Amino acid sequence: MSQQENWPKIAVVGAGAVGGYFGGLLARAGAPVVMIGRPAFVETVKKSGLFLDTLRFQESVRVEASTELSAVRGSEIVLFCVKTTDNAATARALAPLLAPGALVLSMQNGVDNVEQIRAAAEIDALPAVVYVAASVPEPGRVKHAGRGDLVVGPENEKTKRIAALFSRAQVPCRISENIDGELWTKLIWNCALNAVSALGRAKYGQIAASADAMKVVETTVYEVLAVARAAGIHLPGLEDPRAAMAGALKIATQLAEAFSSTAQDLNRGKLTEIDSLNGFISRRGAELGVSTPMNHALYALVKLAEGRS
């Protein structure tokens, strides 16, 4: 029996840290995976495989790689891992390539990616909440620094299929009946820590150890909670702001040795996803009449650091 037998064909669109880590684990478990990425990534992976440097193992994994989006043809599951700034263009290019019945899983930061993908190309993507600290120190190498679990939902045939797929590859994947609340919970941590890590050039652990930085985190968290309440989002277990702050501290401690994805983007001179994080809260707060000065300040400063305001 072939090792890849009974696995669906999987495509990773946007083989960065998240796509490389989760797609790499699926390939390592035996799934047929094709990763669409940049030329340097593809060249390295074709030559010597994808190197996964994780907390549990260090191993080179053989995986297909292509620079062409057309390589997704025939895939039953597509992991949509591009930057949120590329949502519309990628979705439009992807739509005519999808096989009938293909599942598209948005594994991105932010809370409105599924809506953006649907609006751009009428693709009914599934949302996933991704908790992982990973980076790409060089093309074809993924460095894992913490966690590595997913949340999907609500429970239906599609989400049960996704959860079973990742569980088979030993990736924890939980199904939630309140996926909006789960997405917003992750947004709280992203808004609280990403920009501070980027602007302060600090690892999460350094933020947790700084009383002054944690005051910024606290104000940011309280603003996001206020916007969530105004938007009618139910955040289980986070109704008390102190619980939300404890959660932010826990995340920063769990991922102590990691820089945020926003910090990694700034360090590489790339555009960040700040529009989908603190920028989203600033805009949504304005729409709902909720004041968000700290989130707006963090958003504006990251935009300036990107070289575009």
Q: For residues 110 and 84, is the Cβ–Cβ distance under 8 A? A: yes
pLDDT in tens, the chain (309 residues): 345 679 999 999 999 999 999 999 999 999 999 999 999 999 999 999 999 999 999 999 999 999 999 999 999 999 999 999 999 999 999 999 999 999 999 999 999 999 999 999 999 999 999 999 999 999 999 999 999 999 999 999 999 999 999 999 999 999 999 999 999 999 999 999 999 999 999 999 999 999 999 999 999 999 999 999 999 999 988 978 999 999 999 999 989 999 999 999 999 999 999 999 999 999 999 999 999 999 999 999 999 999 864
* Domain boundaries defined on the chain: 10-177, 180-306
* Alpha carbon distance 263, 17 (integer Å): 13
* Alpha carbon distance 46, 66 (integer Å): 9
- 53 burial (CB, 10 Å; 0-12 / 13-18 / 19+) is middle
If you compute the radius of gyration of the chain from its CA atoms, what whole number of angstroms results? 19
Q: For the domain covering 10-177, report its CATH number.
A: 3.40.50.720
Overall CATH class of domain 180-306? mainly alpha
Alpha helices, DSSP H, located in 169-260: 179-200, 204-208, 211-230, 241-254
